[in-house]
Structure 1
Amino acid sequence: MASKLPDVAEVFSDLVRCETRLYNAVGERLQEEHGLTTAQFEFLRHLRRHPGARVADLAGVFAIGVGAVSKGVDRLERRGWVARQSNPDDRRSSILALTPTGQRLVDGAEETFARRLHELIGGAVDGPGAAALATALAALRATLERDRVGLPAG
C-alpha cells in the first residue's frame, strides 16, 4: 500500500506558523534576558561565525534586502555592538566586526537561545522525529538556496 503524500499547503501553513511562534518566543526570551531582538541576535551570531562579513553577505544569508540589513547594522552600531571597518578589497563596502561588547553579548545570548529552543522543540518533537525534521528542513533549505528561490528583488 502506497503512503499518502502530505498536503503541501498544510505543510506550508504548519511550517510558517511554527517559524513565527518559535521566532517570537525566542525573541521574547532574548529581549527579557539580554535586551536584544531575534534579528539582532541572528546578525551578531552570524558576524561571530563569519568575521569580515559585509552587509551584502548578511542580506544574502538571511534573504532580505540590503537596505533592511544596512538599517539593522546601523542600529547595532549605535548600540556599540558592531563596528564598520574599511574593506581593503572594495572601497564601496565595509567589513563588519563585533565589538568586545557585542562579542560578550552574543556569547551570553547564545546559551539563552539554545536553552529556549530546546524547551520549545525538544518538548514537542522526540529524537527520531527531531532528526527527521532537521534532515527534511536542511534539504529544503539547500534546494531553495541552490536555486536562489525567495531572494528579495531589491
Structure 2
Amino acid sequence: MEYISGGGVDLTGLFADLVRCETRLYNALNDRLRERHGIVTSQFESLRFLRDHPGARVADLADEFAAGVGAISKGVDRLEKQGWVVRQANPADRRSSLLALTADGAELLAAAERTFAERLRELLGAVASDSALPAVAQTLSRLRGALERDGVGRPAG
C-alpha cells in the first residue's frame, strides 16, 4: 500500500480511522436509540432535520445526508407509517410533498435527543478531553463544509 502523506500524517490511515470511527459511533448510537426508543440513528437524524427545517422535502433530506432520493423516500414512508411524520401538499410544486413532524414525532425526538447526547458524551469523553474536542469539531466541520460546497460525494440520482 502506498503511503500518502499530508503534513507528516498518514492520510490513508487517517481516512481508515475516520470511516471506522464513524461506523462504530453510528452503530453504538443506533443500538442505544433502538434499545430505549425503538428507533435507529437514521430515523433520529431525519426527525431532527425535519424539526429544524420545517417544510422540508424528501429531496432536502437526501441532499443533507448525501443519499439517494429513493432511499430517503422509503425512510420517510416508514416514519409516516409510525405516525412520526406527515406529508403535506406542496403548494409550490404538486410533484413533491412538504414534511412535518407530528406531535408524537416531536415527543419521541425530545426523548431520543437526551439519550443521543448522553451516549455521545460517554463515547467521546472516554477518549478526548474537553479542550481537544473543539479542534476536532472545527476540523471536521471545515472538511464537511468544503465537501458540501464543492458537491463532493453526492450520489448521482
**Cα deviations across residues 31-62 of structure 1 (Å, max 9, x unaligned)?**
00000000000000100111110000000000
The Cα shift of 1:115 comes to 0.5
**Cα deviations across residues 70-89 of structure 1 (Å, max 9, x unaligned)?**
00000000011000000011
For residues 59 and 94 of structure 2, the distance between their equivalents in structure 1, rounded to whole angstroms, comes to 14
1:145 aligns with 148
Between Structure 1 and Structure 2, how many residues are aligned?
Answer: 152
TM-score when normalising by structure 2: 0.94
Q: 1:79 aligns with which of 79, 82, 87?
A: 82
Partner of 1:97, secondary structure, is strand
For residues 145 and 54 of structure 1, the distance between their equivalents in structure 2, rounded to whole angstroms, comes to 19
Partner of 1:128, secondary structure, is coil
2:42 aligns with 39
1:127 aligns with 130
For residues 85 and 8 of structure 1, the distance between their equivalents in structure 2, rounded to whole angstroms, comes to 45
1:113 aligns with 116
Unmatched segments (≥5 aa) in structure 2: 1-5
Q: Which amino acid aligns with 2:99?
A: L
**Superposed counterparts of 1:82-101, under 5 Å:** 82-101=85-104
Q: Which amino acid aligns with 2:50?
A: L
Q: 2:31 aligns with which of 24, 28, 31?
A: 28
Identity %: 61
Unmatched segments (≥5 aa) in structure 1: none
Match status 1:59 vs 2:77: no
The Cα shift of 1:4 comes to 4.8
Worse overlay, 126-135 or 21-30: 126-135
TM-score when normalising by structure 1: 0.96
Q: Which amino acid aligns with 2:9?
A: P
The Cα shift of 1:5 comes to 2.1
Structure 1 residue runs of 4 or more that deviate by more than 4 Å after TM superposition: none
Q: Which amino acid aligns with 1:71?
A: K
Q: Which amino acid aligns with 2:119?
A: R
Q: Which amino acid aligns with 1:106?
A: L
1:19 aligns with 22
For residues 99 and 27 of structure 1, the distance between their equivalents in structure 2, rounded to whole angstroms, comes to 22
For residues 139 and 35 of structure 2, the distance between their equivalents in structure 1, rounded to whole angstroms, comes to 32
The Cα shift of 1:129 comes to 1.7
